[in-house]
Each structure stands twice: as structure tokens, then as C-alpha cells.
Structure 1
Amino acid sequence: MAEEPSSLEAIKQKLREGKKIEAIKLLREDSGIGLKEAKDQVEAIQAKMAADGEVLPTSSGCAGVLILLAAGLGMVGAWMVT
């Protein structure tokens, strides 16, 4: 990887905070590489951190939010029909 050690520490800190997108943005700003390459490198850093025993936050993604929203709308719809 082309980033400086200080950038690597900043990226790791973003990952510890659960801010993967910000980590990718930081790497792109520091190195000038493309989005795909930055994403792949950040994911490699994240995997190495996990392999080294660091407990990192997991993201639920927007699928979970959409499921909850659909369930809520279904309940409201069922309530309105009865």
C-alpha cells in the first residue's frame, strides 16, 4: 500500500469507529487511487485487523432498515383494513 504510516493509523481508527466509508475516502484523498482500489485496500486492512484479534463494529446495512420499514408498513396496513 502506498499510504504513510500516519494515514494507515487514521484509516484503522476510522474502521474501529465503524466508519468504513470515511476510511475509504481518506485513503483515496491520501493516495489518489480509484474507488474500487481504495475499497479493496480498506477491506484488506479491515480483514488484517480482524485476523489480529481486533473487535470491529459490524454494519447492519440498509437491508435491515428496509425489512423493518416493510414490516411496519404491513402492520399499519393490516390495522387500517380491520
Structure 2
Amino acid sequence: MRRADPHRALIRALIARYPGLLILTSATEPWASVTFTGTRHRLFCAPGVDLTGAEEVELPLPRHVVVDLCWRAEAKGIVVEALTIEDD
């Protein structure tokens, strides 16, 4: 069985929620705890989109849940970091 790709799903969900969001680069890193398996995501986005409240928005991802999301504006753009875990 092919597993759902949480990174692509996260990107699609963010762009659907924040039209105009332009993701310039992205990276993932596997993550695990004793009880959960997931992925850490880091996105570097072009400036110009207001992500105020993004930490509280529920983003629909197939077979995964966003358990942590934060963002910060930097001089050259916006950095979004998220942690998703598998929801089997």
C-alpha cells in the first residue's frame, strides 16, 4: 500500500487556505517518538501573505494530522515549520 505524502498534502492545504502563498523551497525530515511517527516540514515562502492565525487553523491532510505549526517573517520571506504525525 502506498502511504500518503504529508508534505505535498501540507503544501496543498496551506495554498488552499492562503491563496497567493508562494513556496520557494521546502524540506522534510523524518520524526518519531515512542508512540508516534511523523515528519518535520520546513517551508521557505515569498513575502506578502498574512499568515496570522495559521497556528490555530486545522489543515486537512489524508492519514496525517498537523500537531504543530509555526511561522515567522524574515528579511527575505516567511519560514513555516510544521510537525505532522500519522493518523492510521
Fold agreement, TM-score > 0.5: no
TM-score (norm 1): 0.26
Bigger fraction of residues in helix: 1
Larger strand proportion of the pair: 2
Q: Which has the larger radius of gyration?
A: 1
TM-score in terms of structure 2 length: 0.25
